[in-house]
Structure 1
């Protein structure tokens, strides 16, 4: 049967580098696990300082965020995401992420993000300033690997 021939893959955290989320921030790091050109999906860890705010953004697809470490929220909502929580974002939602101090004030925030479609950075009027997707993730990852002399893994492949 065809489904029995589908290959699976395992990517180990230690085999992949933390990449600065440039040009937006040198302090925010991203670790890409999958950059899917077919589904337009990105699976990555995001590491941000325990203090600060990311730019306001909007999503064209759904996003699932699992908090591995730290505390954070969206300025537009009352809830607080802590270790072990899952945030589900619907397509078209806009928000401004903020880091929150926790029991360990200097503890970075680390989240696992499953992003479908584009991440659009917007100004207060909703005008798009920049766009991120699987392709820009691949370009950032490949450029970082070249600059560091690291052999890039094909994160777009299946199997």
Structure 2
């Protein structure tokens, strides 16, 4: 039996009519740079946005920190998880360095300063839940990045650069 035949023989969900009428099955988000740009984040980093879930205040993205770059000190108000894709990175406050394939999770209330001294930089896939509070070099509050900040970051860049907004990113 083929996979498609198996799927059609599965018993229906109790609310299948409503799911079929209003639900979203999922989406494909292309990773190419033309349709899904790297949006600058400071001088030494960029973000490739992948998904925005306003119901849960969560977002998925790939963070690229160029060699010798750093992301300012920040505090998480929700759980964050990451998988390193390329290069290496760490937090100045911890004694580990993440390399390709490594998994990192961060709990609410943790604060740290991300860096990459890898000459090729780093890229990591992040799933962010809740707000992230950023602070300047004197520990003064700078700004909050939540799902709405990430949406504005993406949409503003696309509009300014005449790039079509991928509505499939919005869960």
- Deviation (angstroms), 1:131: 0.6
CA distance in 2, matches of 1:53, 1:145: 24
In structure 1, the residue matched to 2:92 is 75
Aligned-partner SS, 1:76: coil
Q: List gaps (5 residues or longer) in structure 1.
A: none
Secondary structure at the aligned position of 1:53 is classed as strand
Taking the aligned partners of 1:147 and 1:112, their CA distance within structure 2 comes to 25
For residues 86-122 of structure 1, what are the alpha-carbon distances to aligned partners after superposition, in whole Å with 9 as ceiling and x for unaligned?
1110011000112133xxx2x1210100000111112
1:57–1:96 contact (8 Å) kept in structure 2: yes
Equivalent residue for 1:91?
108
Does 2:158 match 1:118? Answer: no
How far off is 1:149 after superposition? 0.8
Contact 1:70-1:109 at 8 Å conserved across structures:
yes
Alignment of 1:8-157 (within 5 A): 8-14=26-32, 15-21=35-41, 25-101=42-118, 105=119, 107-123=120-136, 127-155=140-168, 157=170
| Cα distance in 1, alignment partners of residues 60 and 133 from structure 2 | 17
Q: Report the alpha carbon displacement of residue 50 of structure 1 after superposing the two structures with TM.
A: 1.4
The total of aligned residue pairs comes to 151
Higher helix share: 2
**Conserved in 2, the CA contact under 8 Å of 1:56 and 1:97?**
yes
Q: Report how far residue 156 of structure 1 moved.
A: 5.2
| RMSD (Å), alpha carbons | 1.8
1:7-47 CA deviation, whole Å, 9 max, x = no partner? 121111113111112xxx03311011101100100100011
8 Å Cα contact 1:33-1:155 kept in structure 2:
no
Q: Secondary structure at the match of 2:89?
A: strand
Write the distance in 2 (CA, Å) between the matches of 1:31 and 1:41: 15
Tell me: CA distance 1:11–1:156, structure 2 relative to 1, closer, same or farther (3 Å).
Answer: closer
TM-score (norm 1): 0.86
Larger radius of gyration: 2
Tell me by how many angstroms 1:73 deviates.
1.0
